Chain A
Amino acid sequence: MSALLDIRDFKVSLGRHTLIGGVDLQVQPGEVVVVVGRSGSGKSLTASAVIDLLPKMLTPSGEVVFDGRDVTRLSRKEIRSLRGGDIGFVFQEPLSALNPLMTIGRQIAEGISYHRSPGAAQMKQEVADLLAQVGLAQQGVRADSYPHELSGGQRQRVVIAMAIANRPKLIIADEPTSALDVTIQKEIVSLLMTLTREYGVAMLFITHDIGLAAEIADRIIVMRDGEIVESGARAQVIENPTHAYSRALIERSTSLARFRAVAEETDAPRKTTVRLTGFSHVYGGRRAGDREVRAVDDVSFETSEGRILGVVGESGSGKSTLARALVKLQKPQYGTIEIFGRDVATLGRRERDRLRPRVQYVFQDPGASLNPRWRIRDIVAESLYAIRRELGPDEVASRVTEALAATGLDAAMADRYPHQLSGGQRQRVAIARAIAPKPDLLIADEAVSALDTETRDGVLEVFLKLRRENACSIVFITHDLSLAKYVCDDVIVMTAGKIVERGTTVDVFRAPKHDYTRALIGAVPKMYRLQDDDDAG
């Protein structure tokens, strides 16, 4: 049986640099092949090459044979008929994949009409059928809805509907769930698997998450720095990895366990750093007809020096609104916020300025939190602005170097610009900026979500060091349960603006009381649950 997709000796270069150096990859009809690698490993480029979507400045070579024809030698017309026809794709960002000005029904129909011309009634029926197949009809989503009316998971289902509309032979999914919440991830992945199994469609699935690969793959391919380092059947790769890198990937995913030991160290009585009482934040509702949105609803909690508090919730749970409120040092809409024992509503201008360097924030998006026109050294020094006169220019410079070093960045980076750094490095810069003033309260909003495992572990070490040496209180916001479990001392679980569960990490994970918590725990891929976990899902 000849392979459906046969990539032979595929190379990609940019000028003198080789981005991908000789990849051989095969996908049999009906097979699920998962390519695993961190950002920059070349996995997405390989996928783009299959449908000839490589950026113009890159030079490919080698053969990419799909269904007997070499894609790199096809005419534009032939390639267009492949895309969306025999080859469907699902990309990472469902919001960007959909035209915000067209209804989803029209967009799906558009995808169909490029390849076939059913009559109007037939088209309507096909669209309705597709919406049912991807589970949207059941959720009450209609063909005349617009993308902005749907959630991220629903949008991704629309994209999947477009991908399967013309009964493709191969679906290429490039990180289709990375931008989604973990419970939705599970749904989307199982939807993809069901559809591919049902129609005998082959799938080339790209991800950085080897735990996910372990759940769905027939075969796994591990890539690093543009080369394939391991390739084989799932069972074999997971249980007997031959290459050191794949072994490291598998081990690192489960490496969080070592943080647990460290997290349980200290035990002395501590001062409260943050206390919230009855905090609520409501958007809208001020004008007639405007709906009120309770982003945060009557939340109260506290944490102390040297403790790491995890705030776990999915998008829309209010955790970011909460985080911002903590760091703004302004009177909240409703309720009270006390920082270091002071009610923020009573702070005068001077006191607030003095407090600023002690309360730092790490933003979620590493790209947008750095000014693209500034050098790294100036970006990191920003957090020292309030105390720059006190410290003096020399001390500021040395703090910057110190902070960079603490996050594992070379001092030479200080002269660079953000666009010259990788995503992981940018996030480390954002963290360096937060730790430069040696804060007493650090709020990390999904600070490690965009990082690969290696970088993430490095950053977590930095946080733990801060905690150990400065008795820093950390509020760690994340949607990733496994992370919270191993890194945090206490955890609160939020959904729809309310806290549904709270307690020490050990207690919450051992015996979750709320259904939502249980659902969250159950959505984590099996590989990340270790033996000492209780069977929670």
Chain B
Amino acid sequence: MDRHILLAPFRLLPRGSVGVLVAITLAAIVVLAVLSALHLADPLYIDPLNRMKPPSAEALFGTDQLGRDIFSRCIYGARVSLFVAVTTTLVTCVVGGSIGLLAGYSPLFDLFGMRFMDALMTMPTILLAIALSSIMGAGFFVVIFAIAVAELPGVSRIVRSAVFAIAAQPYVEAARLNGRPHWQILVVHILPNVLPVILVHATFLFAHVIMAEAALSFLGAGVPPSIPSWGNMIAIGKDVFVVAPWTIVFPGAFVAVTVYVINAVGDHLRERLDPTLSGAFREEAAGMEAQA
């Protein structure tokens, strides 16, 4: 039971009070996202009679200027934000990671690949999103695409640097000397060692994407206004902030807490997984634990 595989993700969490906080928050987010499927108030139900009501028993987080229940909108918004964040992070890591992997290993690909990344970096995210949404209509695809384009170069660079360091290691040379073809070396030797780097970056990326999506929605270039997202909730809430602060405070709090938690996990993961930590003692400790 001590080394059960299911407990593995939990061992990655930080120890102590931060870890508990992180664990609770993550659990809460997931639970809430799931709850949204159950009996919540309809987030789209417009009820002008009850507009801008402060938090009460019927509406836990109050209502916005159209009388919609903010609590349920926050929950539904969580789904949107999380979906966008997960998809974008996945796409960016897979595409950016592959490019970085190849660029770090093959000087030829490096030349072309990085120039392509340079081109991507010239595109301003927001303008891209606005332009795309005016052509294709606002929707998830636009948001994911625009944010991914913005984040791809960053990921590919980080992976590329990591690959430089790894490819210089003797064990890679040993593999080459023993006749392994290059593609195999990439997949079997280099990739496993690059994964921790990608993983850590992914957590930061995740937080970043949530904020980027919120910003895009805030500016109207994100998901269509009929679908609640934390970002567009804040966008419409800003007009009535002075008289009804709860319209911004709650969605804002959700964004802030989620971002913090993901960052904390990423920070901790980096410490745990960083292969360049020469901690001989950490290894010995790990080794001794394993032998215990």
Contacts and interface: CB of A to CB of B under 8 A. Distances in A.
Interface of A: 14-17, 55, 57-58, 327-328, 353, 356-357, 361, 363, 365, 368-374, 379, 382-383, 385-386, 416, 419-421, 433
B45 interface: no
Contacts of B287: 419-421
A332 to B, nearest CB: 16
Contact of B288 (A14, A327, A361, A372): A14
Q: Is the interface of B mostly helix, strand, loop or mixed?
A: helix
Contact of B178 (A55, A57, A385): A385
Contacts of B169: 368-369, 371
Contacts of A356: 177-179
Contacts of A368: 169-171
A433 B174 contact: yes
Contacts of B289: 15
A113 to B, nearest CB: 28
B193 interface: yes
B174 A57 contact: no
A385 B180 contact: yes
Given A369-B174, A371-B189, A419-B283, 9 more contacts: A14-B284, A17-B292, A58-B281, A368-B171, A371-B169, A371-B171, A373-B192, A379-B171, A386-B179
B175 interface: yes
Contact of A382 (B174, B193, B282, B288): B174
| Chain A CB within 10 Å, residue with most, of B170, B180, B281 | B170
A57 B286 contact: no
Contact of A420 (B177, B193, B291): B291
Interface in B253-292: 275, 279, 281-292
A4 to B, nearest CB: 28
Contacts of A419: 283, 286-287
Interface residues of B, number: 27
B193 A371 contact: yes
Contacts of A327: 177
B171 A14 contact: no
28 contacts: A14-B281, A15-B285, A17-B288, A58-B281, A327-B177, A328-B177, A356-B178, A356-B179, A361-B174, A363-B170, A363-B173, A365-B170, A368-B170, A369-B169, A371-B169, A371-B189, A371-B193, A372-B275, A382-B175, A385-B175, A385-B180, A386-B178, A386-B179, A419-B287, A420-B286, A420-B291, A421-B287, A433-B174
A353 B173 CA distance: 15
Contacts of B179: 353, 356, 385-386
A369 B177 CA distance: 12
A14 to B, nearest CB: 6
Contacts of B178: 356-357, 382-383, 385-386
A59 to B, nearest CB: 12
Nearest to B192: A373
Contacts of A369: 169-171, 174
Contacts of B173: 363
Contacts of B192: 371, 373-374
Shortest Cβ-Cβ A-B pairs, 9 listed = A369-B170, A373-B192, A420-B287, A386-B179, A419-B283, A363-B170, A55-B281, A371-B171, A385-B178
A363 B286 contact: no
A84 B87 CA distance: 53
| Chain A CB within 10 Å, residue with most, of B175, B177, B287, B288 | B177
Nearest to B291: A420
A227 B292 CA distance: 21
Given A58-B281, A353-B179, A372 B292 contact: no
